[in-house]
Amino acid sequence: MDNFPETVEDFLDGQILLINKPLGWTSFDVVKKIKNLIRTKYSLKKIKVGHAGTLDPLATGLLIVCTGKFTKLISKIQGQEKNYTGTITLGGTTPSYDLETEFENTFDVSEITEEILHQTAKQFVGEQDQMPPIFSAKKVDGEKAYVVARKGGEINLKTNRVTIKEFELTKIDLPNVEFKASVTKGTYIRSLAYDFGKALNNGAHLSVLRRTVIGDFKIEDAKSIDGFLKKLVTK
């Protein structure tokens, strides 16, 4: 984003904006904010703006926002490999596999050793069938799964065929385990956290998540919402 768009035509012709999504914002919140800022700046009635890959509200990091004609590139960008860092917390599960919902089960972690953790992590590298969380945007009879889940409805999701290219534990301070991961399209890191706990005969949830890379795009090149606004108003 060093070559910041100079004119309204730049945004309409198409831009790929790298945004550092803040904690608590939905991906749609970011798109709506960016869209409103551009419309206000240039007195536009409408402009196409969309994101290339959802980040959960409790996740931070790289969100790619496309404008104008570049919204046609969204599906291509979404298909690229993604890198994450984060923290898995052992000893407790939640229905959403993260901290968005209350704990449903707790477990003792005193018997888990670093050796067991590293050996278990190795099992997750490679191609596999992964079950998405019921609190996800997956469609169930035309309705998003998380909407059905919040209503207490029955949810039957199908597994995704995904590849986890890297899953490395970078720091262990039980019950917290920090990690870095590289995954293909359709992989849920929340499901990885849940499945990791299950493989340990324990329970786990995702407590921290940050996306750092999508294809060739990196978080180091991203701007905050405020940073984008400051650049926009000075043009």
Of the listed ranges 58-67, 80-89, 224-233, the least confidently predicted one is 224-233
- The encoded tokens of residue 140 equal 């169930």
What does the alpha-carbon distance between residue 234 and residue 46 come to, in Å, rounded to a whole number? 22
DSSP conformational letter for 157 = P
Task: Provide mean pLDDT across the span 3-26.
Answer: 94
In this predicted model, which residue has the larger pLDDT, 98 or 144? 98
Q: Is 56 a catalytic residue?
A: yes
Question: Residue 55: which pLDDT band, with cuts at 50, 70 and 90?
Answer: very high
**Cβ proximity of 157 and 134 under 8 Å:** yes
pLDDT tens per residue across span 192-235: 999 999 999 999 999 999 999 999 999 999 999 999 999 998 87
Q: Where in the chain is the domain with CATH 3.30.2350.10?
A: 8-79+216-234, 82-214
Which one from 2, 13, 29, 56 is the annotated catalytic residue?
56
**pLDDT of 1 above 60:** no
| pLDDT at residue number 142 | 76
Coil, strand or helix: which one is 14? coil
Q: Which CATH class is domain 82-214?
A: alpha beta
Which residue shows structure tokens 């904006």? 17
Tokens in use for 4? 């910041």
Q: How confident is the model at residue 2 (pLDDT cuts 50, 70, 90)?
A: low
Peptide bond before 132: cis, by omega within 30 degrees of 0? no
pLDDT of residue 16: 97
Q: Which CATH superfamily is domain 8-79+216-234 in?
A: Pseudouridine synthase (3.30.2350.10)
Cβ-contact 224, 32 below 8 angstroms:
no
The mean pLDDT of the chain is: 93
pTM: 0.93
Give pLDDT, residue 154.
72
Mean of the pLDDT values across residues 137-157? 74
* In contact, 157 and 191? CB cutoff 8 Å: no
The DSSP H or E segment spanning 229 is helix 225-234
Q: Check residue 187 and give its pLDDT.
A: 96
Query: Nearest to residue 50, comparing CAs of 15, 81, 24?
Result: 15
Strand pairing category for 204-214 and 59-67: parallel
Three-class SS string for 81-146? CEEEEEEEEECEECCCCCCCCCCCEECCCCCCCHHHHHHHHHCCCEEEEECCCCCCCCEECCEEHH
